[in-house]
Amino acid sequence: MNPALAMPEAAPPRRRGRIQLLLILMVVIGPMMLATAMYKFSFWVPESRSYHGALIGNGQTVVDLGVQDVVPGETWQLLVTAPAGCAEDCQQLVYVARQIHIGLGRDASRANHALAVTEVPADYAAKLQQEYPQLKRLGLDGTAYGKATEDLSGAQLWIVDPHGNLVLRYDATAKGKQILNDLRHLLKLSNIG
């Protein structure tokens, strides 16, 4: 038999099995290593975002803000805070929070709205009692709030998850439609609340 015409032998089964094992490991471990490298070295990270407020990603809770009388609930919360009393910007955000709650439609039972202030003027307290019967009123420790929100001044609207974690923050210039869209997106993605 002519050795030049002989068919090459197939790779030994042991070697082929090792190659298959390495390929399987690369398929499983490769994406995890790539994702870790992307996170660690900040490359290929998308610059766009799908939310309109300021994302709170540091694990802060409503208790860290100094909100008093907090009872962990089973619903998402639109929390309005005002460390210097409820002035015009605070009153506007309370109105927006109620409109967003109403705008949720069939998902309204998955959320509520609340107001946390150091003090409420007597005339506005009466208005809240009459026009906002579902609004929860909570106390606010001004010093704890100041430590937790160093740069913030004026009234703020926070989206809080059912566990009490702060998710998004908006100032008084935020548009209600954008906040509503963000909350709807969170409710769609959430299995809690």
Q: Are residues 84 and 28 in the same domain?
A: no
Q: Are residues 169 and 90 in the same domain?
A: yes
Q: Are residues 36 and 82 in the same domain?
A: no
Q: pLDDT (tens digit, 9 = 90+) per residue, 90-102?
A: 999 999 999 999 9
Query: Quick one: pLDDT at residue 84?
Result: 83
In a domain, 1, yes or no: no
What is the domain-level CATH number for residue 120?
Answer: 3.40.30.10
DSSP string across 89-102:
HHHHHHHHHHHHHH
Give the separation between CA 120 and CA 94, rounded to whole angstroms.
12
Q: Which residue has the tokens 């959430």?
A: 190
Q: pLDDT (tens digit, 9 = 90+) per residue, 105-141?
A: 999 999 999 999 988 888 888 999 999 989 999 999 9
* Boundaries of domain holding 31: 14-43
Q: pLDDT (tens digit, 9 = 90+) per residue, 61-84?
A: 999 999 988 887 789 999 999 888
pLDDT class of 7 with cuts at 50, 70, 90: low
Q: Are residues 95 and 71 in the same domain?
A: yes
Q: Are residues 153 and 86 in the same domain?
A: yes
Per-residue pLDDT at 154 exceeds 80: yes
Radius of gyration of the chain (CA): 27
Query: Quick one: pLDDT at residue 179?
Result: 95
Q: Which residue has the tokens 């202030």?
A: 117
Those residues whose C-beta lies under 8 Å from the C-beta of residue 74, and which sit 6 or more positions away, are: 162, 193
Domain count, the chain: 2
Q: Are residues 94 and 160 in the same domain?
A: yes
Query: Quick one: pLDDT at residue 10?
Result: 58
Mean pLDDT score of the chain: 88
Are 68 and 140 within 8 A, CB to CB? yes
Q: ∠ at Cα 81 (77, 83), nearest 5°?
A: 160
Query: Quick one: pLDDT at residue 9?
Result: 62
In a domain, 49, yes or no: no
Q: Are residues 79 and 129 in the same domain?
A: yes
Q: What is the mean pLDDT of residues 168-184?
A: 94
Q: pLDDT (tens digit, 9 = 90+) per residue, 20-74?
A: 999 999 999 999 999 999 989 988 877 777 788 998 988 899 999 999 888 877 8
For the chain, percent helix, then strand, then coil, each to nearest 5? 45, 20, 35
Q: Are residues 38 and 61 in the same domain?
A: no
- CA atoms within 13 Å, Cβ hemisphere of 107: 20
| C-beta atoms surrounding 43 within 10 Å | 8
Q: Are residues 39 and 58 in the same domain?
A: no
